[in-house]
Amino acid sequence: MPPGTPDDEGRHERPKTREVAIGMTDTVSTTAPVTTGLYIGGQVRSTADTLEVVDPARPGVVVGSAAAATTEDVADAVAAAKGAYPAWSALSAQERAARMAAAIEGIADDRDEDARVLSLENGKIRTEAWVDALVFEIRWQLALSLADEVEQTKVLPPAPGIPVQTTVAHQPLGVVTVIVPFNWPIAILAASLPHALLAGNTAIVKPPPSAPLATTRLVQRVAEKLPPGVLNVVTGRDSEMAGLIDDPDVAKVCFTGSVNGGKRIMEMAARSLTRVTLELGGNDPAIIREDAVLDDDHLDRLFGAIYDSTGQICMNAKRLYVHRSRKDELVDGLARRLEQVVLGHGLAEGTTMGPLHQAAQKAFVAEIIEEAKAAGATVLEFGELPDGELAGGNFLRPAIVVDPDPSLRVVTQEQFGPVVPVIPFDDDAEAVRLANDSWGGLCASVWTADDDSANRLGSQLECGYVWVNDHGAARLDLRAPFGGMKQSGMGREQGIEGVRAFQDTRSIAHAADETEQAGASA
């Protein structure tokens, strides 16, 4: 439904649109502030306190406000999900899939508006915001295609000394909480939410507090078409959200976010032994071998893998290890593309790169770039910072840091911004050693014309997902299990593995009759 203030029945009225000048020539369609409530047990709920949501490109401009739940609201959401669980889990996987398919019918009708709201609150360019919402539907449909596998069982026949026939089956866990980050909140949500529901669980979604509007609105539209309590949405301040994690009635938490955030979630979950899936940050390496193809197509892929979403994607390429003989060619290829970057408001015509989402992140990225300069690294910066109303926005010129000292933070820490270090190597063994010398293990890529070398190096990289001659969220196989190693997380999302992450294994053993036992002993 279009954005606006919910009416008495929780529906949204279409707000009046006006044009606001951005910079010297562009205009951005904006509206009266968007407001969202909680959605608990099939009912919209307002709150006395709200979260103010601002435009990252224009920090003084309020995009809207979201309800700020109290601890009592959180407890009610858990209770609603718990109450809906018996009936939902009693359905067959095919029955749940049918209801879930009906719940997203017509979801594309509001995609333009979802993208507009997300761009305003997140800062990303309109095209990326539109894809964010599109991927939700794609992932949802892919999850439903797994319905026939959800309840598959395995039978272990009697064996010598084991006089039973055992059926190994799967059962849902109960109430699950799904917590998503600001950068791709709608798409990331669908990497786990439909799998959790298809498995027979009920769910509570917690959108990011700094960009909750588009996610809340979309999830509410889906939840309204499911039985009350099966899908709930709670927004609010982290200080009031503990019950979504440590309430004994919450069986599992699926969290996507920073490493430090994952550590806090795991610590809180330990209080009630709540299970967790953690998809955390990455410091993902790309190895460009001497025989790599660096034509326009491959360079375009690599460029997007680095700078999409202003560098704010966990699986972006964040360290480039390039054979020394190809370093200049690689840097020149990236530089040509960065020269075309247009910094601006995400909704403005012609913008190719928006602001960073938060001022604190802008300050951090600027700091590590200055640190690299002070250490003597060559730093190439591109683009022009916007002026006028956007002068106070969270904009940063995209950069390449050439041949930095490996100890610099631009190499060792996740930048989560529009900057990448380019580090030369001389042989494959050195490249793999440097790539693996990191706290992170989310993704990596190998760029080479030789398949055998790609497989050899790929198998040596310590991470959960490896691309060959490709990289980045736009190139992810949404059917395949996804997740990290080391401090990049635990557990897997997507695919049947993503469904199994929201199930437990149950064995049912039937005593074998004498004929079966005799046959097993023969």
Which pLDDT tens digit goes with each residue over 94-115? 999 999 999 999 999 999 999 9
The C-alpha atoms of residue 347 and residue 338 are separated, in whole angstroms, by: 20
Record the tokens describing residue 35, joined without a space: 């407001």
β-pairing, 175-179 with 250-256? parallel
Cα 383 from chain centre: 28
CA distance readout (Å), 25 to 120, 325, 346, 352: 18, 44, 14, 16
* Residue-range domain boundaries for the chain: 38-280+492-504, 284-477
Between residues 7 and 307, the one the model is more confident about: 307
**Whole-angstrom distance, CA of residue 322 vs CA of residue 130:** 33
pLDDT attached to residue 13: 34
CATH topology of domain 284-477: Aldehyde Dehydrogenase; Chain A, domain 2 (3.40.309)
Place of tokens 């299990």: 481
pLDDT in tens, 504-520: 999 999 998 765 555 55
Q: Which helix (H) or strand (E) holds 486?
A: strand 485-486
Where do runs of H (alpha helix) occur along 91-198? 93-103, 111-122, 126-144, 147-150, 185-189, 193-198
Q: What's the sign of the alpha-carbon dihedral 322, 326, 331, 336?
A: negative
Max alpha carbon distance in the chain (Å)? 88
Q: pLDDT value at position 467?
A: 98
Of residues 14 and 123, more confidently modeled:
123
* CATH number given to 38-280+492-504: 3.40.605.10
Please report the pLDDT score of residue 31 as a whole number: 60
Q: Phi, psi (5° rounding) for residue 5?
A: -85, 130
User: Would you state the structure tokens that stand for residue 468, as one six-digit string?
Assistant: 């060959």
More confident residue, 445 or 27: 445
User: Are the CB atoms for 321 and 425 separated by under 8 Å?
Assistant: yes
Of 24-33, 48-57, 336-345, which gets the smallest average pLDDT?
24-33
User: Would you say the CATH fold of 284-477 matches that of 38-280+492-504?
Assistant: no
Angstrom distance (rounded) from CA 493 to CA 193: 10
